[in-house]
Amino acid sequence: MKVIVIVGPTAVGKTRLGIELAKQFDGEIISGDSMQIYQTLDVGTAKVTNEEAEGVPHHLIDTKEVTEEYSVADFQKEAREKIKEITKRNRVPIIVGGTGLYIESLLYNVSHGKGSQKDSQFRKEKNELADKAGNQILWEELKTKDSKAAETIHANNRRRVIRALEVIHTSGEKYSDLQQEKTDSLYDSYTIALTTDRSMLYERINTRVDWMMQDGLLDEARALWEIRATVPQASRGIGYKELFSYFDGTVTLENAVETIKQNSRRYAKRQLTWFRNRVEVTQWADLIERPQEINNIKKRVAIFLENRGE
């Protein structure tokens, strides 16, 4: 099965390109974003609006309540089902997203069997430890047990650090070893990775955060903060968790917003590193500084799709 994949850091134009290609090549979009799955989290996840979608069908958006957990294994299963459904309709599946682990899990035969066991008590204890002593203590533990995994996971990404420790705890094997167990791509995929000059990217991220604050991000974050005990996964998203400190009265709104920008820039850097090292990219493009490149992308995609019915 042929699929088009569009990846890259936040704020480089993935959504726009996905819609352009879907309109030209009779495609449907599957979101590869770990937070857009949640209902009500619209502004902070830069979720596509009905107007922006221009009638293009979008999948795996708004399908979960914020109180629900959603794993990479869930995404892998559901996204693969959507690819089959879209292909059967003789339309083109277009995966668009920046969550590297989701994209890798979808394209390659990454197993979620071994090492996928859950231990809620273990996670609870680690979260309590981090609440008291800080995220760094968990990261140091991971560094001791699996230095390779620690190199790829930021100390402040508590959820992934705990998940890596949980895998080691339940399987007895290193998280990094299990992550490397994957085959070649399961699909005939054309993967477009978007990027741009680092300073330009950071400027766009800062501007996007300002727009989000104007569009109602504060209200979305407050709604999560009020039920934070019941939304452990949804409340960890960048753009939401930073505002919790403001609601708690420990930082000013200005400082909270600056932290959102800082964390978003750091996340963008990690996204670029992930896609350079973990996904086989067909074409890199900069549509910010060279918007005319979209014509070249369309030509190459057209050639790629020529024999998809055979």
Instruction: Give the C-alpha separation, 202 to 12, whole Å.
Output: 10
Are 13 and 99 in the same domain? yes
Neighbours of 150 (CB within 10 A): 20
**Cα–Cα distances in angstroms (integers) from residue 151 to residues 23, 28, 148, 164, in the given order:** 40, 36, 5, 12
Find the domain containing 297 and state its range: 2-110+182-305
What pLDDT score was predicted for residue 307?
76
Are 175 and 206 in the same domain? no
Query: Partners of 109 in the beta sheet?
Result: none
Determine whether 74 is exposed, middle or buried from the number of CB atoms within 10 Å of its CB (0-12, 13-18, 19+). Answer: middle
310 lies in some domain: no
**Cα–Cα distances in angstroms (integers) from residue 101 to residues 192, 235, 275, in the given order:** 16, 19, 10
Instruction: Give the C-alpha separation, 295 to 208, whole Å.
Output: 26
135 CB contacts (<8 Å, ≥6 apart)? 155, 156, 158, 161
Are 171 and 289 in the same domain? no
What pLDDT score was predicted for residue 20?
97
Are 58 and 173 in the same domain? no
137 lies in some domain: yes
Query: Partners of 284 in the beta sheet?
Result: 193
Strand order of the sheet with strand 27-31?
58-59, 27-31, 92-96, 2-7, 188-194, 283-285
Instruction: Give the C-alpha separation, 37 to 60, whole Å.
Output: 6
Instruction: Give the C-alpha separation, 294 to 16, whole Å.
Output: 11
DSSP H or E run through 32 = none
Q: Do 31 and 60 contact (CB within 8 A), yes or no? A: yes
Q: Do 250 and 272 contact (CB within 8 A), yes or no? A: no
DSSP state of 128: H
Are 143 and 172 in the same domain? yes
Query: Partners of 5 in the beta sheet?
Result: 95, 191
| End residue of a domain, out of 133, 164, 179 | 179
What pLDDT score was predicted for residue 176?
78
What pLDDT score was predicted for residue 254?
98
What pLDDT score was predicted for residue 260?
98
Are 225 and 209 in the same domain? yes
Structure tokens at 277: 């090292």
Are 196 and 268 in the same domain? yes
At position 30, the amino acid (one-letter code) is I
**DSSP-derived 3-state class of residue 5:** strand
19 lies in some domain: yes
Are 207 and 285 in the same domain? yes
What pLDDT score was predicted for residue 116?
55
What pLDDT score was predicted for residue 183?
54
Give me the number of domains the chain comprises: 2
Low-confidence ranges of the chain (pLDDT < 70): 110-117, 178-184, 308-310
DSSP state of 279: S
| End residue of a domain, out of 179, 205, 225 | 179
Count of positions (residues) in the chain: 310
218 lies in some domain: yes
Are 145 and 279 in the same domain? no
Instruction: Give the C-alpha separation, 246 to 227, whole Å.
Output: 15
What pLDDT score was predicted for residue 240?
96
DSSP H helix total and E strand total for the chain: 14, 6
Are 70 and 128 in the same domain? no
| End residue of a domain, out of 145, 179, 213 | 179
